[in-house]
Structure 1
């Protein structure tokens, strides 16, 4: 059987894991990649290349980096590649002139069990909402975002203390396996695409992009909600709250990266306390042990490192 020629589109490290799996497969050809343009970053404005771009340079894969996906020159160059299938992972929204181009279509890998958690941050929102499982889905791209016909889905359990970052890494490897599996089914023609409306009768939960103001901890939530929120925002964009230093008479923002439920009693007024050598966030409905914390302008610290340099009793949580 003739090998399928693929154009891969993606940008971050998550995409590289899937690209690497496809590239190393003996049953498909990755003939080109599309990724974000190089751009200056950091204080020195050093030119930064995407993780996918770096991979293409290491493996001598042709790479296109359009600023405009509707640009006529880019479209012409993409057509000239004459690929059978486009595979998209963590990339920009494609115009129809691009996703409709290959004869076998354009497929996407999404980090949820579609149709649940359509949107930019499916992994974060699944954890924030306290889901017990999530997964990955391959589907054909169509006009409406994340709504196309599903090729395959695979579920995975979410640990009770697992962060979005930890789940991200597990889904990345599961997604690589599922994407290759889907590509091979498309190559052989042995697949059945399923309309998403047939996959659930439950109310759909969205997964919109998360911005910094969305990351503030709401102390009106119960202890489990706050724990899920911290997990779902870790390591990025990170849950935060503000405290007032009674000694210096100033306010500081604190990011929280990792918590676990703690058996200590609830506190009517939310407070940060030291208890038996542990850093405890005492809340109205229970308590959380904080394992990693970062004060604005300072380094990320373990709870023990934080308590060596700061006195929790000198801080009051601002509500």
Structure 2
């Protein structure tokens, strides 16, 4: 494996773990491609990606193209003379990039392909109430997430999992699978298998309107949506209280509590520890929340400084 020259491509924390595992196994990383620095925070200060920070710490050569078809970038990439490219949580590559190395370019995807092709497979698997997911490595080709599969491993989705906890578990499982895949390619023992042509459940990018809670849906559906969007980007709703302005509230954690006879969106609170919200067929106990402009807190913490007036409701 040490004789295999590798270019690694990735941007967020999810990708850092794979790069770390490869380096710990003495993989020969000749370059790292990541996103350009971007303005972040209130001061809009230029901020490097987690992959760049890690690669810089390890003394690796770093490329940050704004345009993946830029002739200068392609020249720099080719000069690295990589045998293989490994992609983890990066953007879509043009053929001029993924077809460059002689041993190809493979990607790590956080689902059991062909299920959940797209940008947000971890979120959508939980939102849809799946009981298992996993990770897949596959060779890139023209259509996104459709290339020949190299390896797959399953991961159970536990009832208490949210998008954050599942992300972390798949990050570690995926890193191990990336290393397994690189070793198999180096040893010429891979046996790529074409993906099924069936259309699996999609995992498109999530936008703000996708995160709004519809309290007229089933209790299980609302509960899964909240945990599938927690901690980021977070499910949200609008709190309407008598004689008060409508406020946006993010909800991070709920428990199914059976039925207390609340109508969809109707709220009950004891004023100290409990906030219940009605759905189509049962109530949810809200455990963690955040009002716009305030910090995330437990329901008990929230109720120490805030009241839920009688007659309040969540809007759908």
Cα distance in 1 between the residues matched to 2:256 and 2:273: 16
Q: 1:231 aligns with which of 223, 227, 233?
A: 227
Query: In structure 1, the residue corresponding to 2:278 is in which secondary structure?
Result: strand
CA separation of 1:284 and 1:220: change in aligned 2, threshold 3 A: closer
1:14 has 2:9 as partner:
no
Cα distance in 1 between the residues matched to 2:168 and 2:287: 20
Q: CA deviation at 1:4?
A: 1.2
Query: In structure 2, the residue corresponding to 1:136 is in which secondary structure?
Result: strand
Q: Could you list the per-position Cα deviations for residues 97-132 of structure 1 after superposition, in whole angstroms to 9, with x for gaps in the alignment? A: 000000000000000000000000000000000000
Cα distance in 2 between the residues matched to 1:282 and 1:2: 58
Q: 1:212 aligns with which of 195, 204, 208?
A: 208
Query: In structure 2, the residue corresponding to 1:156 is in which secondary structure?
Result: strand
Decide whether the 8 Å contact of 1:272 with 1:313 is kept in 2: no
Cα distance in 2 between the residues matched to 1:74 and 1:269: 54
Tell me how large the CA RMSD over aligned residues is. 1.5
The answer to which of 255-264 and 56-65 deviates more is 255-264
Q: Which runs of 5+ in 1 are unaligned?
A: none
Cα distance in 1 between the residues matched to 2:146 and 2:85: 17
Counterpart for residue 257 of structure 1: 252
For residues 159-198 of structure 1, what are the structure 2 equivalents within 5 Å? 159-197=158-196
Q: CA deviation at 1:57?
A: 1.2
Query: In structure 1, the residue corresponding to 2:22 is in which secondary structure?
Result: helix
Q: CA deviation at 1:247?
A: 3.3
Decide whether the 8 Å contact of 2:116 with 2:125 is kept in 1: yes
Decide whether the 8 Å contact of 2:259 with 2:281 is kept in 1: no
Decide whether the 8 Å contact of 2:286 with 2:299 is kept in 1: yes
Cα distance in 2 between the residues matched to 1:31 and 1:218: 49
Q: CA deviation at 1:269?
A: 4.1
Give the alignment's TM-score, normalised by structure 1: 0.95
Q: CA deviation at 1:306?
A: 1.0
Q: CA deviation at 1:2?
A: 5.5
Q: 2:315 aligns with which of 297, 314, 318?
A: 318
Counterpart for residue 268 of structure 1: 263
CA separation of 1:244 and 1:176: change in aligned 2, threshold 3 A: same
Cα distance in 1 between the residues matched to 2:34 and 2:309: 49
Decide whether the 8 Å contact of 1:273 with 1:313 is kept in 2: no
Q: 2:282 aligns with which of 247, 272, 286?
A: 286
Counterpart for residue 56 of structure 1: 55
CA separation of 1:50 and 1:225: change in aligned 2, threshold 3 A: same
Decide whether the 8 Å contact of 1:259 with 1:288 is kept in 2: yes
Decide whether the 8 Å contact of 2:5 with 2:83 is kept in 1: yes
Q: Could you list the per-position Cα deviations for residues 246-275 of structure 1 after superposition, in whole angstroms to 9, with x for gaps in the alignment? A: 132x11111001112113423124222225
Counterpart for residue 5 of structure 1: 5
For residues 119-130 of structure 1, what are the structure 2 equivalents within 5 Å? 119-130=118-129
Give the alignment's TM-score, normalised by structure 2: 0.96
Cα distance in 2 between the residues matched to 1:82 and 1:269: 60
Q: Could you list the per-position Cα deviations for residues 191-236 of structure 1 after superposition, in whole angstroms to 9, with x for gaps in the alignment? A: 11011118xx6x5100000000111111221000000000111111
Q: CA deviation at 1:85?
A: 0.3
Q: CA deviation at 1:81?
A: 0.6
